[in-house]
Amino acid sequence: MTKIYQGGDDLWKIFGYEFEKSKMLNIIKEGTHLDDADKYFREIFSRKFDRFMPDGTTLKTREQVIKETAAEIIKNTYPNYSYVPSLVQNLRRLPLGNFISFPAEMYRTSFNLMKFGLREMRSTDPLVRQSGARKLIGFSSALAVGKVAQEIGQEVVGVSNEQLDAIRESFVAPWNKSGPLVPVAKEVDGDKVVYKFVNFAYQSPYDVIGSGRDPGAFTALVQPFVGEAIITEKLADLFVRGGKTRSGRQILSSEDTVSDQAVKGAVHLLEGITPGAFTQATNFARGIAGEQTTYGKDMNPGDEALALFAGIRINEANIGKSMGYQITNFVNSQQEARRLLSKNFADSNVNAETIYREYEKMLRNKFENFGEIRKVFDDAQKLGFDKKFIFPLIERRAGFTKKDRAIVFRGTFLADSFTTITNDARFKRNLRERNIPLTEFLDIDRLREIFSRYNGRRFGDGL
């Protein structure tokens, strides 16, 4: 597999090398080739050209000069993992980052492309200036092609900028939140609202550079270097995040037996180390068999074939199904926020500061949860999912109360009263056993101040 990838890289380098040689035929001229090379190396590479062969006495021929110049350009403007800095090589030993050599090389070669292009534009030779203009125009086009494809897709399919932002912010997986999203189809029919798109970031090697224009640009730039490595992320899901992924998807359940948890955990780890080509082939077979993904999406054999053989993945944002999962996550998050508040009530050494801190943390978490689900509902309506279809989704999910629904659609937070603490049976029993009066243990005014800080706050205002 490694040799196949290397062969693909080498093919493009050979093509680039031959192309650069053809350009140099007009710049490195017969009879003056050594002087031309002196000038080009001085102006473009900022170093002296060595006219002699390794023996120190034989002058280089025009063909040799052209080959050397083309090779110098290719090694500095095409990814070459022999030039990866030692710092980046050492980072690969840490449990951080994924495929960090590639983005490191894209930064290096992109910088050199711009540097050489600008230097060529300042050359006294008009043919060199022409070469520089082509370099800069080509590089700018490579950066812009994703954005252009996105805008064409929006125009053809009929997706506004506001709708595309709604898809990106509320209805795509974390790995699709950056990069140009190119709409390819949409269906808006009652409660069936589906948008299909291609993330152009995976079709363009220069997206790692161009991502600086997109939402979350800085995160996208540094993610390859500081994000959790794939296997580290899988381990953290199991042993740090309590059996959940970073996006909140449940992997393990408290109701699972030990053997079930072991099997689910092993499968989750294997997902992180399975080669992509094998996964794509498996998905293709599952598409032919008419299976569904973990999230209930029908696997289309045509889409899976396109992903397997052309490397183009058509993604789907099914608004109704996605909201169903997000409503479930909202209910689970609300229950978890309440559980975290009360978990210390029976501790014999619990102190007032812990109570204040956990009460504020609960209100903050619940406020953020309400704000997120409100945004999901707002974005769904922007995409054509009418509010009348949202209510049945809410009603089908136990735990999403009428009070919750009123808070969400009113747009203002109704904070849990601090009497949730003072009336808790375990907390009151704890104080009795410690012989501490409630009014001496807690500062009610401080609890009231925390309550007032959150109660009535509009979700769009933030914290």
Kind and range of the H or E element at 197? strand 192-199
Please report the sign of the dihedral spanned by the C-alpha atoms of residue 119, residue 123, residue 125, residue 130: positive
Identify any residues that bridge with 187 across adjacent strands, giving them in sequence order: 194
What is the DSSP annotation of 439-456? HHH--HHHHHHHHHHHTT
Give the C-alpha separation, 237 to 242, whole Å: 7
- Give the number of other Cβ atoms within 10 Å of residue 286's Cβ: 15
Give the C-alpha separation, 45 to 398, whole Å: 68
User: CB under 8 Å, gap of 24 or more: what pairs does 390-399 form?
Assistant: 390/323, 392/191, 393/320, 393/323, 393/324, 393/327, 394/327, 396/324, 397/324, 397/327, 397/328, 397/331, 398/331, 399/331, 399/334, 399/335
So what's the pLDDT on residue 338? 85
Tokens linked to 104: 């490191």
Please give the C-alpha separations between residue 132 and each of 43, 78, 136, 281, 326, in angstroms, as whole numbers: 12, 16, 6, 43, 51
So what's the pLDDT on residue 155? 96
What is the DSSP annotation of 23-68? HHHHHS-TTSHHHHHHHHIIIIISS----B-TTSSSBPPHHHHHHH
| Domain definitions of the chain by residue range | 2-143, 159-318, 319-461
Residue 459 contacts residue 414 (beta carbons within 8 Å) = no
Give the C-alpha separation, 134 to 130, whole Å: 6
Tokens linked to 49: 């050209």
State the first-to-last Cα distance of the chain, in angstroms, to the nearest integer.
Answer: 50
So what's the pLDDT on residue 10? 78
Tokens linked to 190: 């009652």
Strand 181-189 vs strand 192-199: parallel, antiparallel, or unpaired?
A: antiparallel
Give the C-alpha separation, 405 to 400, whole Å: 7
Neighbouring residues of 424: CB distance < 8 A, sequence distance ≥ 6: 342, 345
So what's the pLDDT on residue 226? 43
So what's the pLDDT on residue 227? 46
Task: Enter the DSSP assignment of 412.
Answer: B
So what's the pLDDT on residue 195? 96
Nearest to 322 by CA among 164, 153, 168: 168
Q: Where are the alpha helices (DSSP H) in 78-125?
A: 86-91, 101-121
So what's the pLDDT on residue 228? 46
Q: Is 340 left (phi over 0), alpha (psi -120 to 50) or beta?
A: alpha
Tokens linked to 364: 């903050």
Low-confidence ranges of the chain (pLDDT < 50): 1-2, 97-98, 215-218, 221-222, 224-229
So what's the pLDDT on residue 443? 93
Neighbouring residues of 64: CB distance < 8 A, sequence distance ≥ 6: 53
Give the C-alpha separation, 253 to 264, whole Å: 10
So what's the pLDDT on residue 177? 84
Neighbouring residues of 378: CB distance < 8 A, sequence distance ≥ 6: 166
Nearest to 159 by CA among 382, 314, 376, 320: 382
Give the C-alpha separation, 237 to 251, whole Å: 8
Please give the C-alpha separations between residue 307 and each of 230, 278, 300, in angstroms, as whole numbers: 21, 12, 11
Give the C-alpha separation, 411 to 460, whole Å: 8
Which residue bears the tokens 């812009």? 144
Please report the sign of the dihedral spanned by the C-alpha atoms of residue 103, residue 87, residue 240, residue 334: negative
Residue 178 contacts residue 219 (beta carbons within 8 Å) = yes
